[in-house]
Each structure stands twice: as structure tokens, then as C-alpha cells.
Amino acid sequence: MKSPAPPSSEITPEALYADRRRFLKSSLLFAATAAGVGAGLIGLTGGARLRGRADKTADGALAKVRPGPFGTSEPPTPLKDITSYNNFYEFGTEKDDPARLAGSLVTRPWTVAIEGEVHRPQTVDIDALLGWFPPQERVYRMRCVEAWSMVIPWDGFPLGDLIRRAEPTSNARYVAFTTLLDPRQMPGQRREVLEWPYVEGLRLDEALHPLTLLATGLYGRALPNQDGAPLRLVVPWKYGFKGIKSIVRIALTRDQPPTSWNIAAPQEYGFYANVNPAVDHPRWSQAMERRIGEVARRPTLPFNGYAEQVAGLYSGMDLGRNF
Amino acid sequence: MSSARTPAKPGGGRRPWLKPAVFTGALAPLGLILWQASRGALGANPVAEALNRLGLTALVFLVASLACTPLRETLGWTWPIALRRMLGLFAFFYACLHFGTYAVLDQGLRGAAILADVTKRKFIFVGFAAFVLLIPLAATSTAAAVRRLGFVRWKRLHRLVYLIGILGVTHFWLRVKKDVREPAIYASVLAVLLLARIVVAARERARRRAAAALPVAGA
């Protein structure tokens, strides 16, 4: 049976009825303020930053990659992480900036000048270079000076092969590397965060070591722009910042060349930058590292686990002073 | 700095929606981090991402709480004062989450490593000092605590927040590897807020001196 009147519990209280307009207004103001405060906080603290999802890979796959030496059985870091978590200040100082912004880098045509203390100086086209030295796969650990690490299946060729081809003179003792300087393609270069172009260097014996690689790809595909396309240095026993990206010049020199992070903060970043758990960065410990994909930190190994291969290069040197 | 004007009524007075709204919005950064973490959307290094965002959120609340009084003194707004305690407590809340993430997730509760960090690294020491100094302020944030301490002593204690603000910005500045644009913005805002207090205090002192001088002149 239907009752003619609604039960008293359903009758809107008179006070509330009278206040309805004010209540609605307050509700709206509440919602707008809460949303504004929330959005403002998220915006200020970087929560709204777009995660780099774009995968800017140069056109064309690499030639067949053959397996190379020095591999590790550790599981490789997913491609998504290797291509979205980058320090490449030419495209911005946030980790996801390079993935978002490196699309503006044009990697073809591209030439690399090989010069300085060599008998055969020349400027070589990147594709000719790839023809000379077919890529091989090198699965290396990569330890960033910021205490995180990855395992990266690089494709590339030993730097030593290129240096020997250029025939160093007897004066050559160091190798100097230079990144492209072009603020139109590299928006990060429009601000003086570092001195541009980025420069790096190795001692000649380090450069000739069979571990030292010039990478042209990863995971069997052309190197993504954010990882240093079309040609980057990989020195797996040194901190990642030694791995100069998008190289346009390789010069053999008599004297130790300047290096970008050493210029920026000499007390924090040395020329050698060998991975060393016993020598802390002045602002943080280098004893442990976080492997990307893991939460708990793991101990950092001397020379990033390549001591057996490279420790001999530094026998008799004070690695605390030559950090 | 001190004003005879009373803060807004505890109930929110003419703006009953204000405090609940700010409270709700203040939880958004935490909500977003938890949601993204559950979906694996915090990027390649989720611990570092959460750590950085929680710390920055704490700093934003700290600066916001320091802005309340200057807003009243310069623009005559009284409503921020009603939010001041909540903003300060949210600064502490996010600082707790920031430190907790550092100690538990980042350092895996290894006491020796944390102790070495706090004592050997300037930027961690500074951040830790800011966090520790926030504890007595949070603990004495209730009306009962003000009564127990007496307003003068309570106020003197809570002036620590100026030091905490400076330590917080310094912590952020020292952490950055090279690009100091963002910490520089926080440093400038903090400097303006502290400067505004100095100006107001100086003016007040001058006014009081003038007021004290008046009866003498009239005698």
C-alpha cells in the first residue's frame, strides 16, 4: 500500500532547504579550492610532468649484430627504462627531458672528425664508419655517478679499432671527444648549465682497452637519440658521465684534455671517474647503488665489476686522489 | 610580526569550505604518488621520484605556511592565518613521508649508512636538521600547547620555522647537481617572505617607540 505522504525522514529539514543556495555555493567553492590546491601542488612538485614515452629511434635497423666478449648474465634493463631515464643535459636536466626533446636531433647526415696526433686524419660519414666496423653486442653494466645502475645490451665496436685505423703518432697520449654543438637541435645548450659543447677524454691506454666501446645501437636497433645517437662512448668501468654522447670529433692529443663535469665541479668529478665504492662523491656515498628495476640497493663493485680486466691500468696510482 | 588582530574563528567563519578544501587538496600529491606507484607509472627510478616529490611538497607547504603572516600584513588578508597551522602540519606530514621513504625504501633501514649520510653529507645533515626541528613545532601545534607554554614562549619556539625554511631550501639547493633554477626560485620566495617580516618588525618597533615618546612630549 502506498502512503499518500512521504515518511518524515525523507522531508528536507527546513533549515537545510533555506540554506540550499548557500550550501551549493560552499560546495562549489570547496570543490574548486580543493582542485586548485591539489593541481597547484602537483604542478609545483613535478607530478604533472609528462613521462617520456616517445621512443625517438633513428631510422633504419642496424646490420646483423654478432655477440661480443665481456658479456654479463645479469638480466638487461628494459628498453623502456634505458630510453626514458637519461642524463643528457643537451636536452634538459630532468631525467625524462631527453626522451621528450631529443626528437629534434638530426643524426643523418652525420660526420665524425678524427684528428690530432694521427697520421691519417679524416672526417668520416657515420654510415661509412658503420661499414668499417660491423657492430657487435656488448652487454655491460652502466653505473651512474648518481648511484643508480643499469645493464645495457649495447651494439657497437671497440674504440681501439678506429684509433688504430687512424694510426696515432708517437706523441699521442690521450683521446679527446666532443659532442655536437647546435642549440637549435639541442635546446639544453641554450642555457649555460655546463660549458658547451660537452667534452670528454681518456688516456690512450684506456681508449685502446678492448672493453672501451663506441656504441651505435642498443637491443639490436639503432641508438635512440636520447641515448646519444648516432655514436657514443661506453667505458663500463667508469661513471656514466664519461660516456660522451652524439660525438662529432675524436682527437688524439699530447696533453690531458679538459672534461665537462671536471670543469663544472673539479672537486666532485675527476678526470678518471673510475667506479670506486671506496671513494665517495662529496655529497653522497658511492658504496651502494640502485639497479634500475630494483628497490633495495646493492653494493657497488670496484671498477664496476671489471677490475679483473682494467685494474692493471692503474697500478701504482693513488685512486683516492686520481678520482 | 605580532598583531593584536585575532585570527579567524576556528570554525572557519565566513568560509566554512576553506579548510576542508585545502585539506583535501593537500592530500593530492600523496594520492597521485600512491596511484602512480601502484600502476608502475613513477618512471624508471620510482623510489627517487617519490622521494623527490615528497620532499618538494614538504618545502612548498613550509613556504606556504611562512607566507600567511606577510599576506595579512601586506594585503590585509586574514584567511591565510586560519590555514597556517594546517599548512605547517602538512609540511611536517610530507617531511615525515620524505624521511620515511629515504630511511626505509632508499636506504633499506641500514642504520650505519643513514648515520654516515647524516653526519658526513652536508646536504643530508641540513635536511635532517630541518626535519628534526619540525618535530617540536608539530608537537606544540595545539591550542593546549600554546596555553601550557604561554604565548610568548610558544611564539619564541615557533620562530624556529624561519631557520627550518632556510635549512629546507639549502637542502634542496645542495642536492641539485648543476641546474639550480628551481631551488633559486624557492630561495627567492623565502627571502622575500623573511624580508617582509623584518620590514614589518622594524616598522612596528618604530611605531612603538613613537607611541612611547608621545606622553613624554605631552607632559
Residue of A nearest to B50 (CA): A47
Decide which of B219 and A167 is more confident: A167
**Domains of chain A by start residue, with CATH:** 66-314 (3.90.420.10)
Report DSSP letters for A199-254, one per residue: EEEEEHHHHHSTT-EEEEEETTEEPBGGGTTT-EEE-TTB-GGGS--SEEEEEEES
How far is it, in rounded angstroms, from Cα B47 to Cα B100?
11
Q: Which residues of A touch B32 (CB under 8 A)?
A: 42, 47
Give the closest-approach CA distance of B118 to chain A in angstroms. Answer: 10
Residue A62 pLDDT exceeds 70: no
Q: What is the model's pLDDT at position A72?
A: 87
Residue of B nearest to A83 (CA): B44
Which among A251, A266, A160 has a CA at the least distance from the CA of A205?
A: A160
Cell readout for A164 is: 688504430
Q: What is the model's pLDDT at position B215?
A: 63
Q: Region A41-63: what's the mean pLDDT? A: 64
Residue of A nearest to B15 (CA): A26
Which helix (H) or strand (E) segment holds residue A158: the answer is strand A148-158
How far is it, in rounded angstroms, from Cα A186 to Cα B135?
45
Q: What is the model's pLDDT at position B177?
A: 83
Residue of A nearest to B185 (CA): A44
Q: What is the model's pLDDT at position B151?
A: 95
Q: Region B40-50: what's the mean pLDDT? A: 95
Looking at the partner chain, which of B27, B44, B177 has a beta carbon nearest the beta carbon of A292?
Answer: B44
Q: Do B29 and A42 touch (CB under 8 A)?
A: yes
Q: Do B32 and A27 touch (CB under 8 A)?
A: no
Binding-site residues on chain B for chain A (CB distance < 8 A): 15-18, 20-22, 24-29, 32-33, 41, 43-45, 47-48, 52-53, 56-57, 60, 105-108, 113, 116-117, 120-124, 174-175, 177-179
Are A73 and B55 in contact by the 8 Å Cβ rule? The answer is no
Q: Using one digit for the tens of pLDDT, what is the confidence trace for A159-216?
A: 999 999 999 999 999 999 999 999 999 999 999 999 999 999 999 999 999 999 999 9
Lowest mean pLDDT among A67-76, A233-242, A300-309, B184-193: A67-76
Residue A66 pLDDT exceeds 90: no
Residue of A nearest to B87 (CA): A37
Q: Region B52-70: what's the mean pLDDT? A: 97
Report the mean per-residue pLDDT for chain A: 92
Q: What is the model's pLDDT at position A55?
A: 44
Q: How many CB pairs under 8 A join A and B?
A: 118
Q: Do A45 and B53 touch (CB under 8 A)?
A: yes
The predicted model scores a pTM of: 0.88
Q: Which residues of A touch B174 (CB under 8 A)?
A: 283
Q: Using one digit for the tens of pLDDT, what is the confidence trace for A244-260?
A: 999 999 999 999 999 99
Looking at the partner chain, which of A37, A45, A293 has a beta carbon nearest the beta carbon of B25?
Answer: A37
Q: Do B21 and A31 touch (CB under 8 A)?
A: yes
Residue B13 pLDDT exceeds 60: yes
Q: Using one digit for the tens of pLDDT, what is the confidence trace for B94-141?
A: 999 999 999 999 999 999 999 999 999 999 999 999 999 999 999 999
Are A217 and A65 in contact by the 8 Å Cβ rule? The answer is yes
- Residue B145 one-letter amino acid: A
Residue B48 pLDDT exceeds 70: yes
ipTM of this complex prediction, to 2 decimal places:
0.88
How far is it, in rounded angstroms, from Cα A157 to Cα A134?
7
How far is it, in rounded angstroms, from Cα A297 to Cα B136?
32
Residue A6 pLDDT exceeds 80: no
Q: What is the model's pLDDT at position A311?
A: 97
Which among B206, B199, B137, B200 has a CA at the least distance from the CA of B165?
A: B137
Half-sphere exposure of B185 (CA within 13 A, CB side): 8
**Chain B contact for A47, CB < 8 A?**
yes
Residue B74 pLDDT exceeds 70: yes
Q: Region A68-94: what's the mean pLDDT? A: 94
Q: Region A29-52: what's the mean pLDDT? A: 88
Q: What is the model's pLDDT at position B134?
A: 98
Q: What is the model's pLDDT at position A51?
A: 55
Decide which of B56 and A23 is more confident: B56
Q: Region A208-232: what's the mean pLDDT? A: 97
Q: What is the model's pLDDT at position A71?
A: 84
Give the closest-approach CA distance of B72 to chain A in angstroms. Answer: 20
Q: Do B60 and A146 touch (CB under 8 A)?
A: no
Q: Do B22 and A85 touch (CB under 8 A)?
A: no
Q: Do A33 and B32 touch (CB under 8 A)?
A: no
Q: Using one digit for the tens of pLDDT, what is the confidence trace for A116-159?
A: 999 999 999 999 999 999 999 999 999 999 999 999 999 999 99
Residue B2 pLDDT exceeds 60: no
How far is it, in rounded angstroms, from Cα B18 to Cα B97?
25
Give the percent of chain A with pLDDT over 90: 83
